[in-house]
Amino acid sequence: MPHRQTPPRTPDAGGGPRTALPGRRSLLLGTAAASAALALPVLGSAPALALSGRPRAAWGVQSGDVTASSGLVWVRSDRPARMIVETSATESFRGARRRHGPLLGPGTDFTGTTALRGLPPGEQIHYRVTLADPEDPRRTGEPVYGTFRTAPVRRRADVRFLWSGDIAGQGWGINPDIGGYRVYEEMRRLDPDFFLCSGDTIYADGVIKPSVTLPDGRIWRNITTEEKSRVAQTLDDFRGNFRYNLLDDHARNFNAQVPSVVQWDDHEVRNNWYPGQILDDPRYTEKRVDVLAARALRAFGEYFPVSTLSPNGRTGRMHRVVRHGPLLDVFVLDMRSYRNANSPGRQADDQQGILGAEQLAWLKRELARSRAVWKVIAADMPIGLVVPDGAANFEAVAQGDPGAPLGRELQIAELLRFIKHRRIAGTVWLTADVHYTSAHRYEPERAAFTDFEPFWEFVTGPLAAGGFPASALDATFGPRQVFVRAPERANVSPMESPQYFGEVDIDGGSGELTVRLRAEGGAVLFSKVLQPGRVGQ
């Protein structure tokens, strides 16, 4: 597809005060090193990194899939190097614990991930990554600093996270005239425990041109790179797409402070792709989507710290549960890898659907096992919004027929029925994909399929892409559009329409979950408080 005023944080699970923002020293040191290495011309390709001297980590650091006792730390070198990670409870790194990570080389595009285990729960963890010459370990580069909070183990500790998706889409890339991806700085200042990126982390099929003329005559200018001058087909093309977003200072600063939970959707490969598809797009010499998807997944695993993927993305799976203490489990779906072909969606029997039978069984099993107060179902596509793929086919779940479930809707009906009959409380659906922000309440009394309890779906995005008009809702599951904010025309630039993200706060005392739909610039557009312990909301 387009394809609170914030109060002070409460004490953490360990009983100590939670810092409102981590110390600036480590982040500024890391930013300075990265900014010096990535000093880009206003226009033109990113320069090649020099290979003289010591290893450099010019692309910053990231952390991901952080739990109460573990997390992953990522880095990229400019040459072969050994990754060394030190962690500490303080910025002074007194008594730091050192971990020797992998050897970074061309097989992973000089990226690497180190698993951190045995961390204390509910604590601010400071880390620094140093790259060492594999031939002479005494030759090391400047360390790059980051921080994250581990999940609490006590229920009374608050949880805050943000979510959005859709980055560098429709030709709207890093524009130095407006400060690049400035929404990342706004999100960083909210100091979330983590960021849920709901897919379309890149636009591998989207070319970034040096400039675009807007309808009012203004000029949008992009930082460009060679890999973004064409659709991605080779492994190096996909790698270059992931590197592109790391050219932005705000994105790197955000990554250094906020751990991520990342999933993919279609644009990591190509718009509206599905397994087995053969392309008729003349831009592609490689017509087999399965080949493109394998390369994209490998690059994805190289550039994001994901606990269920191997560091080079060749093995593993995208769907997983990320547990964030007693209050929250995040069920990360993969609505792309197991789906059947896009079609009119009128099948009376559809075992494969959009999740595949195995993933659906996994999701039902893990939801039933979960003891978290809230169970966020992180979907990379919405349930009830009609998302077409051409004149006759459909890309998501809904297909515009308001009657009984058909096609991919059958899997969702099975899941909703399971949640109701197993009395699974606290499910909330979060997604992005459609490039506007909205809140939907699904109610059986309005639906053609009625064997479920009411629930909420919240949609938001993009972070750095074109805005699009609101989509129609399919009545099969009885959705009611409670709120929507969307442009009136297609592909509105980030200079003309704000970017959108969502905020979720879970109160450790009451267990209440508050969702806020936010616009770039600080406005809270919509807010909803949900009560814990209910099967239906």
Task: Answer whether 241's CB lies under 8 Å from 227's CB.
Answer: yes
Residues sharing a CB contact under 8 Å with residue 39, sequence separation 6 or more, in sequence order:
none
pLDDT of 9 reads 42
Fold of 159-530: Purple Acid Phosphatase; chain A, domain 2 (3.60.21)
Stretch (H or E) spanning 46: none
What is the per-residue pLDDT for 315? 80
Neighbours of 9 (CB within 10 A): 17
pLDDT of residue 508: 96
Task: Please tell me if the domain spanning 60-150 has the same topology as the one spanning 159-530.
Answer: no
Judge contact between 455 and 537, C-beta under 8 A.
Answer: yes
Amino acid (one-letter) located at 490: A
Do the beta carbons of residue 343 and residue 112 sit within 8 Å?
no
In sequence order, the β-bridge partners of residue 160 are 505
Q: How far does CA 261 lie from the centroid of its chain? A: 6
Q: Residue 207: count other Cβ atoms within 10 Å of its Cβ.
A: 15
Domain ranges of the chain: 60-150, 159-530
As its CATH architecture, domain 60-150 has Sandwich (2.60)
* Cβ atoms of 190 and 162 closer than 8 Å: yes
Q: Is 172 exposed, middle or buried (0-12, 13-18, 19+ CB in 10 A)?
A: buried
pLDDT attached to residue 2: 63
537 residues of the chain, pLDDT tens digit each:
564 333 334 333 333 334 334 343 334 333 333 333 333 333 333 334 445 689 999 999 999 999 999 999 999 999 999 999 999 999 999 999 999 999 999 999 999 999 999 999 999 999 999 999 999 989 999 999 999 999 999 988 999 999 999 999 999 999 999 999 999 999 999 999 999 999 999 999 999 999 999 999 999 999 999 999 999 999 999 999 999 999 999 999 999 999 999 999 999 999 999 999 999 999 999 999 999 999 999 999 999 999 999 887 778 999 999 999 999 999 999 999 999 999 999 999 999 999 999 999 999 999 999 999 999 999 999 999 999 999 999 999 999 999 999 999 999 999 999 999 999 999 999 999 999 999 999 999 999 999 999 999 999 999 999 999 999 999 999 999 999 999 999 999 999 999 999 999 999 999 999 999 999 999 999 999 999 999 988
Report d(CA 370, CA 228) in Å as an integer: 42
Q: Which residues, 6 or more positions from 132, have their beta carbon under 8 angstroms from its beta carbon?
A: 55, 81, 82, 84, 138, 139, 140, 141
Dihedral of alpha carbons 481, 487, 490, 491, sign: negative
What is the model's pLDDT at position 50? 47
Query: Which residues face 430 on adjacent strands?
Result: 378, 458
Residue 39's pLDDT is what? 38
